[in-house]
């Protein structure tokens, strides 16, 4: 009776209750419902950037360092803040920094995994259990926050002409999509777009083996069954669960041990949300695609790989299998050792000798005379801050940065502002480098230029004493390096389309400036290379090759920096224009430079 009135009456009473609870505690709506721009600034932790400056003025360096660190955790690409952090460490000796917005469930999870890695299973269990409690508490908060105001992206509010039930459905779908995405939100570190894959199931996966190692087979089976809710066909954990059941035989009926209630409830709710969203997508034209929230490849890749397969017939009781779970295969097979194409190019070190993967060091890529000529043209075309929006010291305040592109060199040559032959040399040697990289790494498809930059770093006099920063901080070329998480996030603002990188050095008459590879912790140096004329280092651009440049403390260090892509959609626009200039010059019979990269010069 009453049709929809009982339902709508309950909605009105709920709205009144929410309003009555909010105002006494939070004040008027205008005080606690912030504009979208303000919410975005807080999400990016912008206030901490200002807070850092305030603390500096108050001479509170420790608080300033923590504020800078908190901002940096959400903005890892921010070079100025990174440099500020290095300065704090050197001036105050402060090494441990506090992220004031850290999510406790993620901190507990990371700490638990570290203890697990050290085989400190009792400590790991305590932290991972606390991480789970924090996760489910944060999930409740996330669900509630989704019930706030929503944006109707497909409708301009003033022109919105939906009827009652359409309006309710539109709003509810926005809320439901937000709630459904809490799984991703709670698995995503600050400042990142991509979540930690398989985040919630991994808690149970670590716990099932940790409980086994401390002799609590009931809890081990409980956690194994909880993990199997998410991945019921995981052979490793199925095998483990069977083994735990055998251990409990005669003492406890394994059928009485159930997956954890909170895991069952969350997964049941998540499946229902997914069903409703897909119904709306099919019947109401609501745009929705279900993401893969429980990616099975989100597993640790170390000697104690999880999930853990336990052999049923070991020599001295149960043991941990060291078999690793297969990771997604790269889109192409990684090779190296192909021909260098040019008889004068000298091989120096391969990946193994450089303690990494997809790395090569070569000498004599260009001659001493070509280095000198390239240096002369550089002095005539380089602009301070080129490529960094005019910032003359983009990476460190202790050096001046200058650069120029191939197209600029050719235009200056065509206009007679620098020798045309010298400008053409820049173009030709970059093409020679591209061909060598493509051949050595045995790429089956064309390698395109993504960006080509002639760069010089000059030590600024009077600023080199007690210097402990880097000329270029440790980074990766196609992902955002996160040393604390031991991850590299392949997402904007990183240049995710870059596949290979190369640096061709022009001189050695400076101090410092060594190129270094590190582990993903950005601290452990795996290889150090001293630049010299004609030397080229090339490597794949991903998180497997974090690298940086040590401080240039005297003189000027110059190189041709090259980034390449296998995707023609991301070809360097200036390179295409430079190709057109070269074609025009050839038509005018101006000829190539004495670079001589014709087939007769090849091996």
pLDDT in tens, 104-129: 999 999 899 989 988 899 999 999 99
More confident residue, 238 or 86: 238
Name the E strands within 27-131. none
Confidence of residue 296 (pLDDT cuts 50, 70, 90): low
C-alpha span between 374 and 139 (Å, rounded): 59
Residue 51 in 3-state DSSP? helix
Instruction: Provide the pLDDT for residue 338.
Output: 94
The rounded distance, in Å, linking the Cα atoms of 211 and 221 is 9
Select from 150, 57, 62, 135 the least CA-distant residue to 100. Answer: 62
Least confident of 86-95, 136-145, 152-161, 189-198: 152-161
What pLDDT band is residue 90 in, cutting at 50, 70 and 90? low
Instruction: Give the model's pLDDT for residue 465.
Output: 78
Greatest mean pLDDT among 4-8, 15-19, 33-37, 60-64 lies in 60-64
- 569 band by pLDDT with thresholds 50, 70 and 90: confident
Q: How far apart are CA 548 and CA 338, in angstroms?
A: 26
Selected residue with higher pLDDT from 126 and 444: 126
Mean pLDDT of 397-417: 87
pLDDT for residue 470? 87
pLDDT band with cut points at 50, 70 and 90 for residue 315:
very low
- How confident is the model at residue 157, as a pLDDT? 45
Is pLDDT of 426 > 80? yes
DSSP string of 200-216, one letter each residue = HHHHHHHHHHHHHHTT-
Stretch 449-475: mean pLDDT: 87
pLDDT of residue 93: 61
Question: Which residues have CB under 8 Å from 297's CB, separation 6+?
Answer: 197, 198, 325, 326, 327, 328
pLDDT of residue 467: 76
Identify which has the larger pLDDT, 327 or 451. 451
Element (DSSP H or E) covering residue 553: strand 552-565
Task: Select the more confidently predicted residue: 510 or 6.
Answer: 510
Local structure of 527: helix, strand or coil: strand
Q: What is 348-580's CATH superfamily?
A: q2cbj1_9rhob like domain (2.60.120.620)
d(C-alpha 543, C-alpha 479), whole Å: 7
Averaged pLDDT, 153-162: 52
> Would you say residue 311 has pLDDT above 50?
no
Active site amino acids: 557
Q: Look at residue 425 and tell me whether its pLDDT is greater than 80.
A: yes
Work out whether strand 448-459 and strand 552-565 pair parallel, antiparallel, or are unpaired.
Answer: antiparallel
Q: Does pTM surpass 0.85?
A: no
Select the more confidently predicted residue: 44 or 229.
Answer: 229
Q: What's the rounded mean pLDDT across residues 369-396?
A: 75
Average pLDDT, the chain: 82
What's the whole-number mean pLDDT along residues 195-212?
A: 91
What ranges do the domains of the chain cover? 34-93, 132-151+164-284, 348-580
The residues, ordered by sequence, that sit 6+ positions from 410 with a Cβ below 8 Å of its Cβ are 423, 424, 426, 427, 578, 581, 582, 585
pLDDT higher at 506 or 17: 506
> Which one of 34-48, 159-173, 471-485 scores highest in mean pLDDT?
471-485
Q: What is the pLDDT of residue 164?
A: 78
Q: For residue 478, how far is the Cα from the chain centroid?
A: 8
Contact 542, 580 (CB under 8 A): no
Highest mean pLDDT among 257-271, 316-330, 397-411, 460-474: 257-271
Predicted confidence at residue 400, as pLDDT, reads 87
């Amino acid at each position: 009776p009453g049709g929809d009135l009982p339902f709508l009456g309950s909605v009105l009473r709920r709205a009144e209750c929410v309003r009555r609870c909010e105002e006494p505690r939070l004040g008027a709506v205008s005080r606690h419902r912030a504009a979208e721009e303000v919410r975005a600034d807080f999400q990016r932790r912008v206030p901490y950037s200002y807070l850092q400056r305030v603390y500096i003025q108050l001479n509170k360096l420790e608080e300033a360092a923590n504020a800078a660190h908190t901002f940096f955790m959400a903005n890892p690409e921010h070079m100025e803040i990174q440099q500020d952090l290095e300065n704090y460490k050197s001036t105050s000796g402060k090494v441990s920094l506090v992220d004031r917005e850290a999510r406790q469930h993620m901190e507990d999870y990371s700490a638990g995994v570290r203890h697990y890695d050290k085989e400190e299973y009792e400590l790991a269990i305590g932290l991972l259990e606390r991480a789970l409690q924090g996760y489910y508490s944060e999930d409740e908060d996330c669900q509630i926050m989704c019930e706030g105001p929503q944006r109707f992206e497909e409708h301009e509010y003033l022109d919105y002409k939906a009827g009652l039930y359409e309006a309710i459905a539109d709003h509810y779908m926005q809320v439901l999509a937000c709630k459904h995405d809490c799984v991703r939100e709670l698995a995503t570190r600050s400042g990142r777009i991509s979540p930690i894959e398989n985040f919630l199931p991994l808690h149970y996966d670590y716990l099932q083996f940790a409980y086994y190692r401390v002799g609590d087979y009931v809890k081990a089976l409980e956690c194994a069954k909880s993990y199997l809710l998410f991945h019921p066909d995981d052979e490793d954990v199925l095998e483990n669960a069977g083994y735990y059941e055998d251990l409990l035989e005669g003492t406890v009926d394994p059928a009485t041990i159930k997956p954890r209630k909170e895991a069952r409830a969350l997964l049941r709710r998540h499946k229902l949300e997914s069903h409703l969203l897909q119904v709306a997508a099919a019947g109401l034209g609501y745009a929705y695609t279900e993401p893969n929230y429980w990616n099975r490849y989100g597993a640790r890749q170390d000697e104690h790989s999880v999930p853990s397969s336990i052999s049923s017939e070991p020599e001295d009781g149960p043991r941990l299998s060291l078999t690793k779970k297969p990771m997604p295969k790269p889109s192409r097979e990684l090779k190296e050792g192909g021909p260098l194409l040019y008889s004068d190019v000298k091989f120096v070190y391969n990946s193994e000798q450089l303690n990494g993967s997809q790395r090569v060091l070569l000498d004599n890529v260009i001659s001493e005379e070509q280095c000198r000529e390239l240096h002369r043209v550089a002095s005539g075309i380089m602009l301070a801050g080129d490529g960094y929006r005019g910032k003359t010291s983009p990476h460190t305040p202790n050096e001046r940065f200058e650069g120029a592109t191939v197209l600029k060199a050719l235009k200056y040559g065509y206009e007679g502002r620098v020798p045309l032959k010298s400008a053409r040399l820049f173009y030709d040697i970059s093409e020679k480098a591209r061909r060598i990289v493509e051949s050595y790494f045995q790429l089956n498809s064309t390698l395109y230029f993504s960006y080509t930059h002639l760069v010089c770093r000059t030590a600024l006099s009077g600023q080199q004493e007690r210097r402990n920063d880097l000329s270029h901080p440790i980074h990766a070329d196609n992902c955002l390096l996160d040393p604390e998480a031991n991850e590299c996030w392949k997402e904007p603002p990183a240049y995710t389309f870059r596949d290979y990188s190369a640096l061709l050095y022009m001189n050695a008459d400076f101090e410092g400036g060594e190129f270094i590879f590190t582990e993903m912790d950005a601290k452990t140096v795996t290889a150090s290379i001293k630049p010299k004329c004609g030397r080229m280092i090339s490597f794949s651009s991903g998180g497997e090759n974090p690298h940086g440049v040590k401080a240039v403390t005297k003189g000027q260090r110059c190189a041709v920096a090259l980034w390449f892509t296998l995707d023609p959609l991301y070809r360097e626009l200036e390179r295409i224009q430079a190709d057109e200039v070269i074609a025009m010059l050839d038509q005018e019979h101006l000829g190539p430079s004495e670079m001589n990269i014709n087939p007769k010069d090849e091996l």
